[in-house]
């Protein structure tokens, strides 16, 4: 399960990079861009997810339960920030702001893989499926 979580986390990260790159290239990070996604929200989500991913990789290398639980704990605010951005993105899809250019399949895939990652990390931290 731990390796499966890493794979889903990496796939989630690819989708996140696509959206982050789109948002930045379309000027969403600039003041008065009209974006509904505040830079602190976007970059906070990114930073916490990246830190969690690094911790997960270290967990895979050293197999310390505390690292698995810390990675899971970091994913909780990542998920809350992600849901916040989703709620702000839905009405923005029909406007002329940076996030309106996010490809819908990428947004959906990112969310589905993120939810899967959260569950797999929890299952691993709980020790379910260890042989």
In a domain, 44, yes or no: yes
Instruction: Provide the number of structural domains found in the chain.
Output: 1
Which range marks the domain in which residue 56 is found?
A: 2-126
In a domain, 69, yes or no: yes
Taking residue 50's Cβ as centre, other Cβ atoms within 10 Å add up to: 14
Question: Is the per-residue pLDDT at 18 higher than 90?
Answer: yes
Averaged confidence pLDDT in the chain: 96
Q: Are 6 and 56 in contact (CB under 8 A)?
A: yes
In a domain, 66, yes or no: yes
In a domain, 36, yes or no: yes
Choice among 44-48, 49-53, 89-93 with the minimum mean pLDDT:
89-93
Return the percentage of the chain with pLDDT > 70, whole number: 99
Give the per-residue pLDDT at 24: 96
In a domain, 131, yes or no: no
In a domain, 14, yes or no: yes
Give the per-residue pLDDT at 32: 87
Q: Are 41 and 53 in contact (CB under 8 A)?
A: no
User: What is the model's pTM?
Assistant: 0.94
């Amino acid at each position: 399960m731990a390796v499966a979580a890493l794979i889903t986390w990496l796939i989630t990260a690819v989708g996140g990079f696509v959206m982050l790159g789109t948002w930045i290239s379309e000027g969403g990070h600039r003041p008065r861009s009209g974006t509904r996604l505040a830079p602190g929200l976007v970059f906070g989500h990114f930073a916490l997810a990246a830190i969690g991913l690094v911790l997960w990789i270290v967990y895979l290398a050293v197999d310390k339960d505390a690292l698995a639980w810390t990675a899971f704990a970091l994913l909780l605010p990542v998920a809350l920030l992600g849901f916040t951005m989703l709620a702000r993105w839905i009405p923005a899809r029909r406007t002329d702001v940076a996030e309106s250019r996010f490809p819908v399949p990428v947004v959906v895939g990112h969310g589905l893989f993120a939810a899967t990652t959260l569950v797999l990390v929890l299952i691993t931290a709980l020790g379910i499926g260890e042989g």
